[in-house]
């Protein structure tokens, strides 16, 4: 079985970030990068499926991103992915989920995967959409927000997590695309030796153009265009407490007593 | 291309609340969008919800019967694709819900539509514009959809007052689509959330802890604090995923929706799915070391402080 796992290197803001002067984005000096939380779970699902099968399964991690995002791929290789592919993104709007999905589609198509496992969402963009958009481009049957899964030759039985803790059990035939929810397993950590060896594993870098995607194709795929980026309007927002921690605690105690009485 | 198409959401024979919020949102841009709002119900027995959708300003309710008893992503996707082709709306509104995530992005991708998810506001400037979070909701990004004849927007719940039903019976039209054999998944059953010894939805005072707690070994300390304060301990999801807290104590979209008099949140960032479960608490007090944490956007009171130091001091107060 061949399992492709699209993963994202997510960006978190430093406590004291600054916006670029033209408002188009955040000054990259103030970003911290990491493998998307959800993608650690989807990779773990893939690794466990490979370990449970004896047919020489392969796990391929794929990302769309700049050179920095290779860190995410190296972390997947260290944990046990067999190889990795980065589609480089100099001019790509990676904040637009349909653009990313279009590029992923071209990369995944070459792999003829039995199973594509995305994360439910990325912690920075919170689109919750790239995986199912990818399924749309590839015409793959799909289930979103999977919190448990069992492989039974040729199909998988999955638990789809709904609002309020309700779960729906479904069967879906392969090939298919699933988006994986946190908590489905306990993702492994890579040991030091594996982290070193990860650099020896195959990591291909391809340009979107090499996958047959020119600027026009990408522009047509884009689902949106960003007009600007700004700090949130907190509206009425919270009344912020001042003073030392002791004073804050006293104030909280006072509010609690007042609200809980009467 | 004109008008707004709202896709109502139902589960197991009940209309979901988000549907009426979507109608409010649609009505707020109705005039600019061409003056027409239609509501589609994709369900095995779609006519059962018509009374609940009798909102003044809704021009038509489109009834789309499905062969499947429950939501099925591929059936819903085909239905939406055909509805868009037949009705040519400039804007399609769905909730940012688990069902929508299961099919709407695939339709938008395949049909080359405009698309935005988790939109927190909706406006119009020659076409739809939306605001949505960026960098984990610490910033807001404004999006436009140039060149798109139809744009699909998944709207976050809680931003619009639900529309009031009870108006004149809306015009209805049944749209028969060939949906047999479209399903790609087989429904095997539902499983309710496990019942538990504690019901956090009954508590008037919740002390809720998040990933700021850092370690399983730190949890007893907050259990003791809760007891001292007379509060019930609850948490965000990552603590449940890690097995540190029982799932019955999880607040949020996939956990419990709570509405206590006081919700005291320690070390919780305020992700959209957490807010879904506590936004309507009467008083929200948030404690977080990060002054930009999105939870301060919904809290009544905020304190930028270390939850451990604060816990020490708070204990002295009771
Ligand atoms: C389909 C779906 C359903 C979901 N359902 C739920 C749900 O029901 N409930 C839920 O909670 N989440 C849910 N989530 C997950 C959600 O997206 C977030 O990942 C989660 O809410 C984050 O939890 P958190 O705020 O505790 O952690 P984080 O986002 O990691 O935030 C931790 C916070 O603690 C602060 N902090 C760190 N140290 C300290 C300290 N010493 N003192 C004070 N503050 C500190 C940090 O500044 C940060 O703001 C769901 C996600 C999906 C995709
Ligand atoms: N740039 C990217 N490269 C590879 N996969 C991605 C990328 N962005 C998103 N994904 C995948 O899509 C999932 C959902 O992300 P999102 O739709 O942005 O919330 C992630 O968990 C990844 O599996």
pLDDT tens column, A19-69? 887 777 888 888 889 999 999 999 999 999 999 988 889 999 999 999 999
Distances (CA, A) of B241 to A44, A145, B245: 14, 14, 8
CA atoms of B290 and B304, how far apart (whole Å): 7
Query: Which residue among B135, B205, B261 places its CB closest to the CB of A124?
Result: B135
Interface of B with A in 51-70 (CB under 8 A): 70
B317 has a chain A CB within 8 A of its CB: yes
- CA–centroid distance, A131 to ligand 2, in Å, is 7
Q: Which residues of chain A lie closer than 8 angstroms to B101, CB-CB?
A: 120, 128-129, 132, 144-145, 179
Whether the pLDDT of residue A262 is over 80: the answer is no
Q: Do A183 and B241 touch (CB under 8 A)?
A: yes
Note the ligand closest to the C-alpha atom of B116. Answer: 2
Note the ligand closest to the C-alpha atom of A121. Answer: 2
Is the distance from the beta carbon of residue B255 to the nearest atom of ligand 1 less than 6 Å? yes
> Can you give the pLDDT at residue A18?
83
> Can you give the pLDDT at residue A23?
72
Whether the pLDDT of residue A80 is over 90: the answer is yes
Tell me the two tokens of residue B67: 């062969």
> Can you give the pLDDT at residue B195?
80
pLDDT lower than 50: segments of chain B: none
Neighbours of A159 (CB within 10 A): 20
Going by the DSSP 8-state scheme, the letter that residue A34 receives in this structure is E
CA atoms of A32 and A119, how far apart (whole Å): 20
According to DSSP, the residues that pair with B11 across neighbouring strands are B14
Query: Which residue among B113, B143, B305 places its CB closest to the CB of A226?
Result: B143
Whether the pLDDT of residue A154 is over 80: the answer is yes
* Interface residue of B18, B105, B253 to substitute, partner A, most A CBs within 10 Å: B105
Contact by Cβ (8 Å): A9, A69: yes
Contact by Cβ (8 Å): A104, A134: yes
* Minimum distance, in Å, between the CA of residue B290 and any CA atom of chain A: 7
Angle at B272 between CA B209 and CA B79, to 5 degrees: 140
> Can you give the pLDDT at residue B25?
98
- CA–centroid distance, A118 to ligand 2, in Å, is 7
Interface of A with B in 223-252 (CB under 8 A): 223-235, 237-241, 245-246, 248-252
Neighbours of A231 (CB within 10 A): 11
> Can you give the pLDDT at residue A22?
76
* Minimum distance, in Å, between the CA of residue A51 and any CA atom of chain B: 23
Neighbours of A51 (CB within 10 A): 11
Contact by Cβ (8 Å): A180, A118: yes
Q: Which of A8, A105, A108, A180 to mutate to test the pocket of ligand 2 (most atoms within 8 A of CB)?
A: A8
Distances (CA, A) of B148 to B13, B95, B124: 34, 20, 14
B230 has a chain A CB within 8 A of its CB: yes
Whether the pLDDT of residue A93 is over 80: the answer is no
Is the distance from the beta carbon of residue B294 to the nearest atom of ligand 1 less than 6 Å? no
Whether the pLDDT of residue A235 is over 80: the answer is no
| Index of the ligand 2 atom closest to the CA of residue A104 | 4
* Minimum distance, in Å, between the CA of residue A202 and any CA atom of chain B: 30
- The dihedrals phi and psi of A56, each to the nearest 5 degrees, come to 65, 50
> Can you give the pLDDT at residue A255?
97
Q: What is the ipTM of this complex?
A: 0.96
- CA–centroid distance, B260 to ligand 2, in Å, is 36
Interface of B with A in 137-196 (CB under 8 A): 137-146, 148, 154, 184-194
Q: Which residues of chain B lie closer than 8 angstroms to A232, CB-CB?
A: 133, 137-140, 294, 297
Q: Which of B253, B265, B270, B296 to mutate to test the pocket of ligand 1 (most atoms within 8 A of CB)?
A: B253
Nearest alpha carbon, ligand 2 atom 1: A64
- Is the model's pTM score more than 0.90? yes
- CA–centroid distance, A109 to ligand 1, in Å, is 35
Which residues have CB under 8 Å from A236's CB, separation 6+? none
- CA–centroid distance, A87 to ligand 2, in Å, is 13
């Amino acid at each position: 079985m061949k399992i492709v796992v699209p993963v994202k290197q997510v960006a978190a803001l430093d406590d004291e970030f600054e916006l670029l002067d033209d408002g188009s984005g955040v000054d990259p000096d103030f970003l911290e990068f990491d493998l998307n939380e959800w993608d650690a779970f989807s990779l773990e699902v893939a690794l466990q499926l490979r370990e449970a099968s004896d047919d020489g399964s392969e796990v391929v991690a794929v990302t769309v991103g700049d050179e920095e995002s290779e860190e995410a791929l190296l972390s997947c290789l260290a944990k046990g992915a067999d190889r990795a592919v980065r589609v480089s993104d100099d001019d790509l709007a990676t904040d637009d989920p349909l653009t990313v999905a279009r590029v992923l589609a071209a990369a995944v198509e070459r792999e003829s995967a039995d199973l594509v496992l995305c994360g439910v969402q990325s912690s920075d963009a919170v689109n919750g959409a790239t995986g199912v958009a990818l399924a749309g481009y590839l015409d793959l049957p799909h289930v979103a927000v999977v919190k448990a899964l069992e492989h039974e030759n040729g199909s998988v039985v999955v638990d789809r997590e709904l609002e309020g803790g309700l779960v729906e059990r479904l069967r879906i035939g392969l090939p298919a695309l699933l988006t994986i929810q946190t908590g489905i397993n306990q993702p492994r950590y890579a040991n030091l030796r594996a982290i070193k060896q990860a650099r020896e594993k195959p990591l291909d870098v391809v340009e979107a153009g090499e996958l047959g995607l020119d600027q026009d194709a990408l522009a047509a795929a884009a689902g949106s265009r960003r007009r600007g980026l700004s700090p949130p309007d907190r509206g009425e927002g919270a009344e912020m407490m001042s003073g030392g921690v002791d004073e804050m605690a006293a104030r909280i105690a006072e509010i609690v007593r007042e609200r809980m009485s009467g | 291309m004109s008008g707004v198409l709202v896709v109502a959401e139902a589960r197991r024979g009940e209309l979901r609340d988000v549907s009426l919020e979507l109608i409010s949102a649609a009505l707020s841009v109705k005039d600019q969008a061409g003056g027409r709002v239609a509501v589609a119900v994709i369900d095995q027995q779609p006519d059962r919800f018509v009374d609940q959708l009798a909102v003044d300003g809704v021009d038509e309710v489109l009834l789309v019967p499905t062969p499947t008893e429950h939501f099925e992503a591929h059936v819903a996707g085909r239905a939406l694709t055909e509805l868009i082709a037949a009705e040519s709306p400039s804007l399609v509104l769905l909730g940012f819900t688990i069902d929508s995530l299961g099919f709407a992005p695939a339709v938008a991708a395949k049909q080359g539509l405009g698309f935005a998810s988790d939109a927190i506001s909706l406006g119009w400037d020659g076409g739809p514009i939306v605001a949505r979070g960026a960098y984990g909701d610490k910033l807001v990004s404004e999006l436009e959809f140039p060149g798109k004849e139809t744009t699909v927007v998944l709207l976050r719940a809680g931003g619009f007052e639900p529309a009031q039903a009870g108006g004149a019976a809306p015009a209805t039209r049944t749209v028969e689509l060939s949906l047999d054999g479209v399903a790609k998944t087989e429904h095997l059953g539902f499983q309710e959330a496990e019942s538990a010894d504690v019901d956090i939805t009954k508590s008037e005072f919740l002390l809720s802890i998040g990933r700021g707690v850092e370690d399983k070994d730190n949890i007893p300390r907050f259990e003791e604090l809760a007891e001292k304060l007379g509060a019930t301990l609850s948490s965000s999801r990552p603590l449940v995923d890690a097995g540190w807290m029982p799932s019955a104590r999880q607040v949020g979209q996939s956990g419990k929706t709570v509405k206590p008099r006081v919700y005291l949140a320690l070390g919780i960032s305020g992700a959209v799915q957490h807010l879904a479960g506590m936004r309507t608490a009467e008083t929200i007090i948030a404690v977080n070391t990060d002054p930009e944490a999105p939870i301060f956007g919904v809290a009544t009171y905020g304190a930028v402080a270390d939850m451990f130091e604060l816990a020490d001091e708070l204990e002295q107060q009771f």
